[in-house]
Amino acid sequence: MSNGYEVVITTDRTMMSNHHGKEFLGFMATGPAIGIPEKLWMWIAAPKIKVDREGKPQQAPYGLRKIEAKLIDDGFNAAIIDPDHLDKHLDSMRVLMIGHHDFFAFGPPSNEWWMITGKEPVNRQSFIRFMNSPAVRKAKERGVKIIVGGPAAWQWLWELDRWREWGVDTVVDGEAERVVSDLVQRALNGDPLPDYVYVGPHNSPSIDEIPVIKGASVNGLVEIMRGCPRGCKFCSVTLRPLRYIPLEKILQEVEVNLRAGIESVLLHSEDVLLYHADGVKPRPEPLIKLHRELLNKIPGVVGWAHASLAAIKYAEDEHHLISKLMKDILYPRQDFLGVEVGIETGSVRLAKIIMPAKSAPYPPEKWPEVVEDAFAIMHENRIVPAATLILGLPEETPDDVVKTAELIDRLRPYRSLIVPMFFVPMGALKNMDWFRRNAIKPEHIEVLMKTLDHSLYWADDLINNIYLREPHLAPVRWGLKLFLGYVKRKVKKLKPTIEAMIEAQRPPSETEREVSLTT
């Protein structure tokens, strides 16, 4: 029996999942199913989540929770509903809101796997199936207004045919708290809706306008700040103003998750260590207070979504903050911490052009040293980074890519995963050209092979001893090992061919040219 929700908020299965309680498993949905059946791939990356009798999920993506909270606070009869249960609300639904991090797999790393393999990523296939599902089609036939948004809203501009085919009324690009209630009210009133709404920095919500979530977020994710002060040109987050979420609001959201039985917390920020920082210099006091308050409130563990390598190095070099947070505060209860970090390039020249503040407070000339020192600090403190690289950046030269390959070699001793991504025009570079398959050079292939070799080298240790040790995750371990076994066999078989191809395409050295001329 439905409560008659007028506004239903949802997404497809790759997003509406808790990924077995392991956030990083969700990234498998950004690739195509390779080496194992798609159903097994989906079960590993995005298993179904528990729902109540109305189809409301026990946990839901944090961004959807914020929209739900804002609409409820403003008096709307709104709820997040699992995609498999939309049909229960067709009689009452008048607005269908859909969010996603990567609607059409144009974002990194989805577009890279798609480009390399020639196969559509699972997240794209899943979203298209969802939009073509009987429930969504029936909703549109009944006059339901469809509003979509989230970090991947820009992708609809590249899929105009599907936009029209599916009858999407409005796309909201940017932080939506200030605009969402007005759009929903206009939809309910039958007023015309704009096709596209861009929310720029001038219209970003203030701290007071950002609501506290009403229902549990996936894996206890809680936001501690918005925006980033580093200004990297390839990143859209840097376009947003920097705001710190007050500790009391953070703890209120933790309490919401605790009531739903989620005993751990995943801190979300573009750089957790910059919470109430002195510019880009981490300050011990607010970070130690935050972590102590969390551990006093929860019985579980604390995780970080993102951190910057420069902040990790500075925090440890100046304050011994990393070892204090880990060994004195967190590790009496947990024995590792996973986090996403960005390497992006090993080239000092390119770093100066596209991310001059990425290394701050250190000069960009020291970027490779900052990366290596931060990796050593994380390894010593049992922090496991999933690091990204960007290939095909504007103004990149073959020598820049070689510098990245050399840096990867130096990172071999440090427990980590390294994920290469192809450049996608976003942020200040949104008007640049995409990196395309025909632009791949031997140096790019070499980096791809080195990152694959690095990640495979550490994968077994991470699966068996760090990330998936719990007995109930044994089937997930088995599925991942099946996939890794396939990849290793494939790489072993193709490696001689790839190496020969790289060598054949590499321009001859000066000595080789001289020998050629004399003979």
Each of the 519 residues of the chain gets a pLDDT tens digit; together they read 456 899 999 999 999 999 999 888 888 899 898 888 889 999 999 999 999 999 999 999 999 999 999 999 999 999 999 999 999 999 999 999 999 999 999 988 898 888 888 899 999 999 999 999 999 999 999 999 999 999 999 999 999 999 999 999 999 999 999 999 999 999 999 999 999 999 988 899 999 999 999 999 999 999 999 999 898 888 877 778 899 999 999 999 999 999 999 999 999 999 999 999 999 999 999 999 999 999 999 999 999 999 999 999 999 999 999 999 999 999 989 989 999 999 999 999 999 999 999 999 999 999 999 999 999 999 999 999 999 999 999 999 999 999 999 999 999 999 999 999 998 877 777 777 777 777 888 999 999 999 999 999 998 888 888 877 788 888 887 887 777 777 777 767 766 666 665 566 555 555 555 554 555
405: domain CATH number is 3.80.30.20
Summarize the chain as % helix, strand, coil (round to 5). Answer: 50, 15, 35
Q: Are residues 496 and 453 in the same domain?
A: yes
Q: What's the DSSP call for residue 343? A: E
Q: Provide the pLDDT for residue 233.
A: 83
The model's pTM is 0.91
Question: What local confidence, expressed as pLDDT, does residue 501 receive?
Answer: 55
Do 259 and 408 lie in a common domain? yes
| Tokens standing for residue 343 | 């390497």
Strand pairing of 221-223 and 196-198?
A: unpaired
Please give the Cα distance from 147 to 185 (Å, whole number).
12
Cβ of 361: how many Cβ atoms within 10 Å? 14
pLDDT the model gives residue 1: 45
DSSP of 402-462: HHHHHHHHHTTTS--EEEEEE----GGGTTSPPP-GGG--HHHHHHHHHHHHHHHHHHHHI
Can you give 45-61 as a three-state secondary structure string? HCCCCCECCCCCECCEC
DSSP H or E run through 146 = strand 145-149
Range of the domain at 220: 216-503
**Nearby residues of 11 by Cβ (< 8 Å), 6 or more positions away:** 61, 64, 83, 98, 99, 100, 130
Let me know if residue 2 belongs to a domain: no
Q: Domain for residue 141, yes or no?
A: yes
Same domain? 250 vs 382: yes
Beta bridge partners, 387, equal 341, 418
Following CA atoms 207, 213, 214, 217 in sequence, which dihedral angle do they give, to the nearest 10 degrees? 180
Most distant pair of Cα atoms in the chain: their distance: 87
Please indicate, yes or no, whether residues 86 and 181 belong to a single structural domain of this protein.
yes
CA distances from 358 to 46, 268, 365, 434 (A): 33, 19, 11, 22
Q: Which residue has the tokens 């085919």?
A: 165
Q: Are residues 240 and 175 in the same domain?
A: no
From CA 468, how far away is CA 482, in angstroms rounded? Answer: 15
Residues 47 and 181 in one domain: yes
Same domain membership, residue 469 and residue 323: yes
CB 308 within 8 A of CB 271: yes
Tokens of 440: 């791949």
Residues 6+ apart with CB under 8 A from 55: 81, 82, 84, 85, 86, 88, 89
Q: How many domains does the chain have?
A: 2
Say yes or no: 222 and 311 in one domain.
yes
What is the rounded distance in angstroms from the CA atom of residue 140 to the CA atom of residue 130?
Answer: 13
For tokens 């996403």, the residue is 340
Residues 6+ apart with CB under 8 A from 311: 271, 273, 274, 277, 280, 282
Name the CA dihedral angle for 316, 322, 327, 329, rounded to a multiple of 10 degrees: 130
Q: Same domain for 279 and 186? A: no
Residue 508 is assigned to a structural domain of this protein: no
Last residue of a domain, one of 158, 174, 203: 203
Residue 462 within a domain:
yes
Helix (H) or strand (E) holding 273: none
Residue 9 CB partners (closer than 8 Å, separation 6+): 64, 67, 68, 71, 78, 79, 80, 81, 97, 98, 99
Residues 188 and 284 in one domain: no
Asked which of 203, 224, 247 is the last residue of a domain, the reply is: 203
- The answer to whether residue 515 is domain-embedded is no
State residue 64's pLDDT score.
98
Does the residue 400 lie in any domain? yes
Sign for the CA dihedral angle at 105, 184, 239, 163 comes to: positive
pLDDT at 463 (0 to 100): 84
The gap between the terminal CA atoms of the chain, to the nearest Å, is 86
State whether 107 and 75 are in the same domain: yes
Exposure of 24 by Cβ count < 10 A (0-12 exposed, 13-18 middle, 19+ buried)? middle
pLDDT of res. 46: 96
- 189 with 228, same domain? no
Query: Coil, helix or strand for 340?
Result: strand
Paired with 418 in beta bridges are: 387
Assigned domain for 1 exists: no
Q: For residue 119, is it within any domain?
A: yes
CATH of the domain at 101: 3.40.50.2300
